[in-house]
Amino acid sequence: MVAKPFLEKIVKQLSDVEAKVLSLPIPIAAMMTSEYLTRELPRYPELIEWADIIIAPGFTKGDLKDVAKKLGKPVYKGCLYAYDIPILVEYLKKGGELSTVNPLDELLSKEKKRREEIILAELRREATKSCFEVGGKPVSPKYPLIMGEVFVNEEVDFDTIASKAHRLVSHGSDILVIGSSRLPLDVVADYSKKVKRLLNIPVGLDYFKYEDFSSLSDGEVDILLSFPADSILHFNPKEEFRKTAVVLIPDPFSTTVGDKISSLRAGLKHAIDKGFGKIILDPVLNPPQQAFIESLYAFKTARKEFPGYPILMGVSNFTELIDADSIGVNAVLASIGVEAGVDLFLVTEESAKTSYSVREFRKALDMALLAREMEKPPKDFSVNLLVCKSKKRRGLKPQELVNPVKASRPYPLKADPSGYFKIYVDHDQEAIIVEHYKHGDSKPSITILGTDPSAIINEILERKLASAPEHFYYLGRELWKAKTALKLGKDYVQDEELF
């Protein structure tokens, strides 16, 4: 009823199709059911006779099969939102089939997702043909690997490292790297061995004293980062150690693209002479505004110069050195890396602003690979990195403002006799923590953990931890802020604005 003028405007713009809008006496489409349509539509026999197909709002509840049986005409669910009607019409013109159960949006999204999963599965299958492996993982630009790094500069309880490692793997890391610039190598190596046993995943070491690598035994680690090209000449590995993958970087004073490529070429020759069988080249990505563009050209050149060797790109040189949300930066770097033919990406989450970078990069990489295979820009896939902004506005607003009142006075909060709450966000545990205090107590009476504000509120209700209505309003506001902060990897401080 409310949407009729908007629908008629859209229908008038359709070409090569005749369509009429039927307005039923119901306030909004979301209230419509199959039973309602079975009862109401027979009251419009002329329109039913005229139509070849009847399309109900996508929000209609129930199966429309019985409605079609009653009318003797096909009745299907359309799209959820009116602005997608042109998409629906084009879909039908191409022979697409609608459903009596699911709206068009779900049909298209399921089909799109299924097609994309087939493409990515085929890329993973093609990648297994690679003769180069790291810890059993095939290394190929067909489906590049992500190496997530846990950086440790002081001795900590292994549970802390295990927790971070678990999170990185669950977010998409194919290989885990333990890095340090301070701890003794035997301590860092011990961490990596424990992680490997715990998660059964390839592990690597990113260590500042490459000369100490010679003390390692075969099988302890699967990949070592990183050897400056000129250092390999002076490195004498054990025989069995030569089976470990090693990453070569240009000499520190190599600044131009030509210098980097020459340095890598010399280091590659030395590594081969030393008997290394698995050599990975990293031309080194420069930070923004510090010859970044030239470093990108070095990656493209390295891919052409060394076609038989994997290329690694460490993206933290960019993500950690720019004060911008990592989600957009990772999306761009993944696309650049895929286009440059990169085989492995090293991703870190060392600062708060790069939290969840592995998860972001996994999605970004899938988007870039799909775009490459489908020869289109990385957009309009079932997977995306649109978190804070929408792809398009749905235009959902009332047709007219009835008795508008401008809200200007905030609701005054009063002390609740049942107590008060302290709310925290633990990004490591991926949880919202809520402490309840009775007035006058210095220790909480109970601590509630969760991720769903509704579930936390329900726990508070059942335990009668709050009683004032305005207190529940306050809790709802703060808990949704906490959930948003948790989802975005953003810092949360109770009673402070999130943005």
Mean pLDDT of the chain: 91
Number of Cα atoms under 13 Å in the Cβ half of residue 323: 0
38-56 average pLDDT score? 93
The pLDDT value given to residue 15: 81
Q: What percent of the chain has pLDDT over 90?
A: 67
Q: Is the pLDDT of residue 390 over 90?
A: no
Q: What is the pLDDT of residues 113-133, one digit of tens each?
A: 888 999 999 999 999 999 899
Split at pLDDT 50, 70, 90, the class of 16 is confident
Burial class (CB in 10 A: 0-12, 13-18, 19+), 139: buried
φ, ψ of residue 395 to 5 degrees: the values are 65, 30
Q: What is the pLDDT of residues 354-364, one digit of tens each?
A: 999 999 999 99
Burial class (CB in 10 A: 0-12, 13-18, 19+), 259: middle
CA dist., res. 439 & res. 429, Å (int): 29
Number of Cα atoms under 13 Å in the Cβ half of residue 370: 24
Q: What is the pLDDT of residues 18-34, one digit of tens each?
A: 889 898 888 777 789 99
Q: Which residues contact 345 (CB under 8 A, 6 or more apart)?
A: 144, 145, 146, 147, 312, 313, 314, 315, 334, 337, 361, 365
Cβ proximity of 188 and 209 under 8 Å: no
User: Kind and range of the H or E element at 453?
Assistant: helix 453-462
Cβ proximity of 14 and 84 under 8 Å: no
Least Cα distance to 189 among 161, 158, 226, 221 occurs for 221
Q: Is the pLDDT of residue 87 over 80?
A: yes
Q: Who wins on pLDDT, 375 or 298?
A: 298
Q: What is the pLDDT of residues 131-176, one digit of tens each?
A: 899 999 999 999 999 999 999 988 888 999 999 999 999 999 999 9
Q: What is the pLDDT of residues 201-248, one digit of tens each?
A: 999 999 888 778 877 776 688 999 988 998 888 777 666 666 789 999
Six-digit token pair at 164? 């971070």
CA dist., res. 65 & res. 61, Å (int): 12
The pLDDT value given to residue 380: 83
Q: How far is CA 195 from CA 153, 214, 311, in A?
A: 17, 21, 25
Burial class (CB in 10 A: 0-12, 13-18, 19+), 403: exposed
Strands 54-56, 175-180: pairing kind? unpaired
Q: Who wins on pLDDT, 343 or 253?
A: 343
Q: Is the pLDDT of residue 347 over 70?
A: yes
The pLDDT value given to residue 277: 87
Residue 377 corresponds to which amino acid? P
The pLDDT value given to residue 413: 85
